[in-house]
């Protein structure tokens, strides 16, 4: 085993991306007890799986097909279309190999790379001489969430993506030559995170895209871009600082990880590991619960930007202004992006929206921290077709819930090995516990503002179920069923930490699992649900105890550490991974998973990303036989001048260092096509 996570996640990733969250004390020390509710046979696995697609399509929203597209309810009773995108699964690629692999018959090329010039006046990327002004006008680093919106004619598109963090050790030589150079680097990093919006064009459907330099909608969001806070906590004392005495506007967004695309054409992005950018007293219960510490930060921005030093009365609330779901309208380059306090503050992986049958917007979001929680927001107001201005207010007002799971098998059968209980599945019922309802706090002793700013503490009090790191949480547009990627939790069941439970059934869960949630009456606004585990990930060939909903273990691609989720038009689930399977380690990949009938639980690997990289932001346009991924932190375990990856500018025969101009890895968005 390499380090404290499964497979190949490196110490570099842990330090730069998550502020070493996994090697520090667990943030959630609440005494939240394990909740178990033995329920009757009506909630058996057969029933849970059999509810299936029929009858719930009215609640679903079809995938976006273009910037102006709005949600359309699919006709009830019509099953998913047969998907295209036929492929023969690739074999897993050894982690020592630096290559990007796709199935036979497919080709790939980068669409946008770190440093690509986005505007007419943008300097060309110059790897050896990068500067902050250039970076602000170029594509950012470590792309994560990705959306490709298409106009109806298929020839124009709009790419939206976020940039989570930077890898200084492979961007620059080890030591800056001077204090001035060190400051310039910090400024480059500030301009390399955030978000990008870039127009695309191509000759026809199914053909690879090119990005349009200098296009009207191209935009960079950096730490200097102003965001407006919305919802009940906006303007509250908890969000006021000396620089923003009204508590209503925040410069920039941080730690943007996964996201989601709304039915009204905007893009959501989750502020995840924001804590690592702030230096605080580190003494309050709130600081501790959010992993805020007193050490100097890895980025060091507190040296010249006082807001990252939260140890003064003037800046104490600065960290309270990050940790939200942000919403960006990519069609309006002048728009002020928003931070929605109604969805709570935690390490949001992302958020995904579905329109319920009664017209309310329902957003699901996970808190990616060991033993943290799964949340659901239900809008007060209803979605209106073709009214983007109205729909952009939906996430500003509504009810917030947190999930509690109860299993239906005896505790003795959930023994921590991953062995399937005697009723044939890991399953049970769940409850959405209220945190804020009809504008009022549902948590004793906490105001609405406190619930929305210190959401983790509110959820502790409510008695939520501690999960194995919820990453992407996404409703399937074809069925309304919700999928939760629990990426891993090596602390599950050890050292007096929370024990295994039926929803998190493996001790030292290093490979992760996928939860399937079926809302009561297939109503996305319901306050109770049924659930089951779609799979326990791992590599059966290496003896891992795995479960694939009964699909033969010897016929699946090994998969570990599920992270981002997406769906194709046939309703298949696609999973990208962050942490390859098992001891020898494979490169991360993208996997297709069947959800219904005989295909349920069948895992097939579609692509593999380069050495040290993570597969992010999958976008599946199966009707065009195209797939897009954001390749994050390729070559992250290398160093400047001794790189472990030369992605994406390989010479045609692969392998050896790139085409001459950039002899270093560049995080990039890749398009795969036939
Ligand atoms: Fe940034 Fe939860 O992965
Ligand atoms: Ca069970
Ligand atoms: Ca992620
Ligand atoms: Ca997703």
User: 82, 85, 63: which is closest to 72 by C-alpha?
Assistant: 63
Strand segments (E) across 446-527: 467-468, 470-475, 482-486, 513-519
How far is 33 from 38, CA to CA, in rounded Å?
Answer: 16
- Which ligand 1 atom minimizes the distance to the CA of 471? 2
340 has which bridge partners? 230, 325
Q: Which ligand is nearest to the CA of 429?
A: 2
Q: Which ligand is nearest to the CA of 369?
A: 1
Residues of the chain where predicted confidence (pLDDT) is lower than 50: 1-7, 33-82, 581-583, 653-655, 658-660
For strands 249-251 and 352-355, give the pairing: unpaired
How far is 93 from 610, CA to CA, in rounded Å?
Answer: 9
Is the minimum distance from the CB of 368 to ligand 1 under 6 angstroms?
Answer: yes
475 has which bridge partners? 482
Which whole-number Å values give the CA distances from 71 to 247, 385, 387, 619, in the listed order?
33, 7, 11, 18
Q: Which ligand is nearest to the CA of 482?
A: 4
| Residue 405 falls in which region: left (phi positive, over 0), alpha (psi -120 to 50) or beta | beta
- Which ligand 1 atom minimizes the distance to the CA of 18? 1
Is the minimum distance from the CB of 257 to ligand 1 under 6 angstroms?
Answer: yes
* Cβ atoms of 470 and 349 closer than 8 Å: yes
For strands 194-201 and 427-437, give the pairing: unpaired
Q: What is the pLDDT of residue 513?
A: 98
Instruction: Report CA(384)–ligand 3 centroid distance (Å).
Output: 31
- Which ligand 1 atom minimizes the distance to the CA of 257? 1
Is the minimum distance from the CB of 471 to ligand 1 under 6 angstroms?
Answer: yes
Tell me the per-residue pLDDT of 89-143, one tens digit each, with 9 for 90 and over.
Answer: 999 999 989 999 999 999 999 999 999 999 999 999 998 899 999 999 999 999 9
Q: What is the pLDDT of residue 128?
A: 85
User: 64, 80, 41, 44: which is closest to 480 by C-alpha?
Assistant: 80
Q: What is the largest CA-CA distance in the chain?
A: 70
Give, using CA atoms, the residue closest to atom 3 of ligand 1: 257
Q: What is the pTM of this model?
A: 0.91
Length of the chain equals: 674
For residue 577, the tally of other CB atoms under 10 A from its CB is 30
* Cβ atoms of 142 and 636 closer than 8 Å: no
Instruction: Report CA(600)–ligand 2 centroid distance (Å).
Output: 18
Q: What is the pLDDT of residue 30?
A: 83
244 has which bridge partners? none
Q: Which ligand is nearest to the CA of 428?
A: 2
Full DSSP string of 505-560: -BTTB-S-EEEEEEEGGG-TT-SEEEEEEEEE-B-GGGT---B-TTS-GGGS--B-
User: 531, 551, 540, 548: which is closest to 409 by C-alpha?
Assistant: 531
Q: What is the pLDDT of residue 339?
A: 98
513 has which bridge partners? 486, 536
Cβ burial, residue 27 (10 Å; 0-12/13-18/19+): buried
Radius of gyration of the chain (CA): 23
Is the minimum distance from the CB of 272 to ligand 1 under 6 angstroms?
Answer: yes
Q: What is the mean pLDDT of the chain?
A: 89
Is the minimum distance from the CB of 473 to ligand 1 under 6 angstroms?
Answer: no
Q: Which ligand is nearest to the CA of 256?
A: 1
- Which ligand 1 atom minimizes the distance to the CA of 144? 1
Q: What is the pLDDT of residue 83?
A: 52
How far is 250 from 82, CA to CA, in rounded Å?
Answer: 45
Q: What is the pLDDT of residue 39?
A: 25
- Which ligand 1 atom minimizes the distance to the CA of 578? 3
Instruction: Report CA(51)–ligand 3 centroid distance (Å).
Output: 30
- Which ligand 1 atom minimizes the distance to the CA of 17? 1
How far is 356 from 525, CA to CA, in rounded Å?
Answer: 7
Is the minimum distance from the CB of 349 to ligand 1 under 6 angstroms?
Answer: yes
For strands 338-340 and 226-230, give the pairing: parallel
Q: What is the pLDDT of residue 18?
A: 85
Full DSSP string of 157-198: EEEEEEE----HHHHS-SS-SSHHHHHHHHHHHHHHSEEEEE
User: 317, 315, 335, 452: which is closest to 397 by C-alpha?
Assistant: 452
Residues 450, 453, 454, 458, CA torsion sign: positive
Q: What is the pLDDT of residue 651?
A: 61
For the chain, the first-to-last Cα distance in angstroms comes to: 37
Instruction: Report CA(433)–ligand 2 centroid distance (Å).
Output: 22
* Cβ atoms of 371 and 24 closer than 8 Å: no
Structure tokens at 107: 């080709």
* Cβ atoms of 631 and 615 closer than 8 Å: yes
209: three-class secondary structure by DSSP: coil
Tell me the per-residue pLDDT of 185-203, one tens digit each, with 9 for 90 and over.
Answer: 999 999 999 999 999 999 9
- Which ligand 1 atom minimizes the distance to the CA of 164? 1
Give, using CA atoms, the residue closest to atom 1 of ligand 1: 257
Instruction: Report CA(17)–ligand 3 centroid distance (Å).
Output: 10
How far is 230 from 17, CA to CA, in rounded Å?
Answer: 27
Instruction: Report CA(374)–ligand 4 centroid distance (Å).
Output: 15
With vertex at residue 475, the alpha carbon angle to CA 598 and CA 13, rounded to the nearest 5 degrees, is: 100
| Residue 255 falls in which region: left (phi positive, over 0), alpha (psi -120 to 50) or beta | left
Structure tokens at 79: 């099953």
Structure tokens at 487: 């990426």
Instruction: Report CA(404)–ligand 2 centroid distance (Å).
Output: 16
């Amino acid at each position: 085993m390499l380090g404290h996570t499964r497979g190949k996640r490196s110490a570099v990733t842990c330090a730069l991306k998550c502020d070493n969250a996994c090697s520090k004390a667990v943030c959630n020390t609440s005494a939240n007890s394990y909740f178990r509710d033995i329920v009757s046979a009506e909630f058996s696995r057969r029933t849970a799986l059999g509810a299936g697609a029929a009858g719930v399509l009215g609640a679903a929203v079809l995938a976006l097909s273009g910037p102006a597209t709005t949600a359309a309810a699919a006709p009830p009773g019509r099953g998913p279309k047969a998907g295209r995108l036929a492929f023969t699964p690739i074999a897993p690629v050894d982690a020592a190999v630096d290559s990007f692999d796709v199935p036979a018959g497919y080709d790939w090329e980068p669409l946008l790379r770190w440093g690509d010039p986005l505007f007419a006046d943008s300097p060309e990327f110059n790897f050896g001489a990068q500067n902050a002004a250039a970076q602000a006008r170029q594509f950012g680093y470590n792309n994560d969430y990705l959306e490709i919106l298409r106009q109806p004619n298929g020839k124009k598109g709009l790419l939206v993506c976020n940039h989570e963090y930077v890898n200084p050790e492979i961007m620059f030589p080890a030591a800056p030559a001077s204090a001035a150079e060190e400051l310039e680097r910090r400024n480059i990093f500030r301009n390399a995170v955030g978000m990008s919006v870039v127009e695309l064009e191509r000759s026809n459907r199914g053909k690879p895209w090119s990005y349009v330099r200098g296009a009207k909608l191209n935009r960079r969001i950096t730490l200097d871009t102003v965001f407006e806070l919305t919802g009940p906590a906006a303007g509250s004392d908890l969000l006021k600082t000396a620089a923003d005495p009204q508590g209503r506007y925040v410069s920039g967004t941080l730690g943007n990880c996964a996201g989601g695309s709304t039915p009204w054409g905007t893009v959501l992005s989750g502020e995840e590991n924001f804590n690592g950018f702030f230096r605080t007293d580190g003494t309050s219960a709130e600081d501790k619960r959010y992993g805020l510490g007193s050490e100097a930060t890895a980025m060091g921005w507190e040296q010249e930007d006082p807001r990252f030093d939260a140890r003064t009365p003037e800046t104490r609330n600065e960290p309270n202004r990050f940790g939200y779901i942000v919403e960006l309208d990519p069609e309006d380059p002048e728009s002020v992006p928003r931070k929605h306090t109604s969805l709570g503050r935690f390490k949001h992986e992302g958020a995904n929206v579905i329109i319920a049958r009664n017209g309310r917007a329902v957003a699901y979001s996970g808190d990616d921290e060991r033993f943290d929680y799964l949340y659901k927001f239900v809008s007060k107001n209803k979605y209106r077709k073709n009214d983007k201005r109205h729909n952009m207010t939906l996430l500003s007002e509504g009810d917030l819930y947190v999930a509690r799971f109860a299993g239906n098998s005896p505790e003795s059968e959930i023994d921590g090995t991953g062995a399937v209980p005697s009723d044939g599945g890991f399953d049970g019922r769940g409850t959405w516990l209220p945190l804020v309802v009809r504008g009022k706090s549902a948590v004793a002793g906490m105001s609405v503002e406190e619930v929305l700013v210190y959401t983790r503490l509110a959820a502790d009090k409510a008695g939520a179920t501690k999960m194995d790191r919820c990453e992407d949480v996404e409703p399937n547009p074809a069925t309304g069923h919700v999928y939760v990627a629990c990426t891993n939790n090596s602390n599950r069941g050890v050292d007096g930490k929370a024990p295994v439970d039926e929803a998190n059934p493996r001790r030292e869960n290093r490979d992760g699992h996928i939860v399937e949630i079926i809302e009561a009456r297939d109503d996305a606004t319901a306050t109770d649900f049924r659930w089951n585990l779609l799979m326990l990930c791992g590599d059966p060939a290496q003896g891992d105890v795995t479960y694939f909903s009964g699909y033969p273990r010897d016929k699946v691609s090994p998969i570990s550490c599920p992270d981002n989720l997406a769906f194709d038009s046939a309703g298949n689930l696609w999973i990208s991974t962050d942490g390859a399977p098992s001891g020898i380690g494979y490169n991360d990949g993208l996997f297709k998973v069947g959800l219904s009938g005989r295909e349920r639980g069948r895992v097939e690997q579609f692509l593999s990303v380069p050495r040290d990289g993570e597969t992010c932001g999958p976008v599946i346009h199966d009707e065009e036989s195209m797939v897009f991924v954001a390749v994050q932190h390729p070559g992250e375990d290398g160093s400047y001048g001794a790189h472990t990856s030369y992605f994406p500018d390989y010479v045609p025969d692969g392998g050896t260092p790139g085409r001459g101009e950039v002899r270093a890895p560049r995080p990039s968005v890749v398009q795969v096509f036939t």
